[in-house]
Structure 1
Amino acid sequence: MVAENFRISQSIEEKLTSKIDTFNKALLKEFPKLKQDDVDKLRHSVAGSVNAGKQAVLDNLTILKQLQEKNDKLIAENTDLKNKLANINAQSTVVNTVQETVA
């Protein structure tokens, strides 16, 4: 249910935080006598052992953030280059028109 509700998200952190919050709320609604600590322990148990692979996940998160930033930068550079190319093409058209008029 949690995965179904969060297929699209702006960032990895938002996605993870939203899933954790949804899991917590759903569990506390179903079992109101549980404490947040109990929910946290259960969530960790469901997801796997508490610390296993934690560093790998953080490393992957860092790599994904870097890739997102790089992608955003490349998109901006691509847009800038397209604009410059359009300006060059426009100037070239003006020069060609002037040359044809003079000739």
Structure 2
Amino acid sequence: MDKILEPVLGALALGIVTVFVAIIKSVGDITIQYIAKKKEMVEQKLKLDKHEEEIKTAQQVWNIVEEKYRITDNIKSLVKRKEDDFDKLLLEKIPYLTEEEVKMLRQSIAGEVNKGKKLLFEEDLRKQAHELVEENNNLKNENLLLNNKLNTVKTLNQNL
């Protein structure tokens, strides 16, 4: 009986060990996948937190620049100077950003800030732009008149 029992028990023990190894391998594989997914989720959360911090910093920089350029005479130079100041200040606070990332953040913040502004401000900007165009045209006409007078004076001086 020992002769029969010994190989049967050996085979049974080998089978049980094989099942345990398979179970341990399966549990190990699942654990590794879980850890990988958890790592991926943590990395995504870190990226999201980093981006939220960048947005927050960009919003603060936007407010600084907005306050600096609240009143101005020249709209085109105002916009360019505001963009330049925003880019410079943002890069001082978040130096690892690329030029494209700075541009995207500026556009994102501008869109967020401007969506809350009423049509009144848009109408006011149109009015200011129209006034600038009118003033420019008046100055051109005045320049033309002065040039004509100057030419008349030159002609009179040459005839004397």
Q: Distance in 2 between matches of 1:19 and 1:43?
A: 18
Is 1:25 the counterpart of 2:87? The answer is yes
Higher-Rg structure is 2
**1:18, CA displacement in angstroms?**
0.7
Question: For residues 43 and 27 of structure 1, do their structure 2 counterparts lie closer, same or farther at Cα, with a shift above 3 Å needed?
Answer: farther
Is 1:50 the counterpart of 2:112? The answer is no
For residues 48-81 of structure 1, the C-alpha deviation after alignment (integer angstroms, 9 at most, x for no partner) is: x523422012112111121112102211220221
**1:37, CA displacement in angstroms?**
4.1
So what's the TM-score if we normalise by structure 2? Answer: 0.39
Q: Which residue in 1 is equivalent to 2:108?
A: 38
Q: Extract unaligned runs of 5+ from structure 1.
A: 94-103
Contact 1:44 1:50 in 2 (8 A): yes
Contact 1:28 1:39 in 2 (8 A): no
Is 1:67 the counterpart of 2:67? The answer is no
User: CA-atom RMSD, angstroms?
Assistant: 3.4
Question: For residues 23 and 39 of structure 1, do their structure 2 counterparts lie closer, same or farther at Cα, with a shift above 3 Å needed?
Answer: farther
**1:16, CA displacement in angstroms?**
2.9
Q: Which residue in 1 is equivalent to 2:34?
A: none
**Structure with more helix by fraction:** 2
So what's the TM-score if we normalise by structure 1? Answer: 0.55
Q: Which residue in 1 is equivalent to 2:150?
A: 82
